[in-house]
Chains A and B, each alone.
Chain A
Amino acid sequence: DADVTQTPRNRITKTGKRIMLECSQTKGHDRMYWYRQDPGLGLRLIYYSFDVKDINKGEISDGYSVSRQAQAKFSLSLESAIPNQTALYFCATSDPTGELFFGEGSRLTVL
């Protein structure tokens, strides 16, 4: 089983719908992250959490929200999806050394 699990792996939705991407980890790490990947733009940080009571905005947080339900769970929500949020989304975990462990990604298409 993967150390970092994302669901769903693929999702197609319509403009205006609410979407939640979920992430769970078995690494025992306190730190969790949500990234977005677009061609030519690399990995851009949306939100991150250094422990259960900590939530921080990344470089592109507008239009997104997160919830850290437990040490092992970190979910990303799009309250009202729009087409330019079509992308590949990655959850990741780390310890303080910074080495990230990524999930397999969630491909979201907003029509």
Chain B
Amino acid sequence: GQQLNQSPQSMFIQEGEDVSMNCTSSSIFNTWLWYKQDPGEGPVLLIALYKAGELTSNGRLTAQFGITRKDSFLNISASIPSDVGIYFCAGQREYGNKLVFGAGTILRVKS
């Protein structure tokens, strides 16, 4: 079953608001990844994190690799309608291992 706890499960926000979501685990991971799935499409990689404490940005998106290596956060600033979709966190325990996924956060944006 799922080994990553992702929250919140869903969010319905006003356009222009900032968004935060996170992923936690009882195990240590060496890599954290954040994916976005647009409606009707496959997930696409947004940000990859490889070092504890790392803070990485991609446009309005910022993700952090937690210091304990057991969590990661994704923030979206000034949301817009095209941010709608499902966001997944994923972790890799060691190089070469397969990924473990969170259950996803459904984001809806009200214009």
Contacts and interface: CB of A to CB of B under 8 A. Distances in A.
Interface of A: 4, 33, 40-43, 45, 48, 59, 90, 92, 94, 96-105
Interface residues of B, number: 26
Contacts of B88: 42-43
Interface of B: 1-2, 6, 9, 31, 33, 35, 40-45, 48, 88, 90, 92, 95-99, 101-104
Nearest to B42: A102
B42 A103 contact: yes
B95 A96 contact: yes
Contacts of A45: 98
Contacts of A100: 33, 35, 43, 45, 90, 99
Contacts of A99: 33, 45, 48
B2 A98 contact: no
A20 B66 CA distance: 41
A96 B98 CA distance: 8
Given A40-B9, A59-B1, A104-B41, A98 B102 contact: no
B42 A97 contact: no
Contacts of B42: 4, 90, 92, 102-105
B44 A102 contact: yes
Q: Which of A42, A48, A59, A94 has the most CB of B within 10 A?
A: A42
A98 B1 CA distance: 19
B43 A43 contact: yes
Contacts of A101: 45
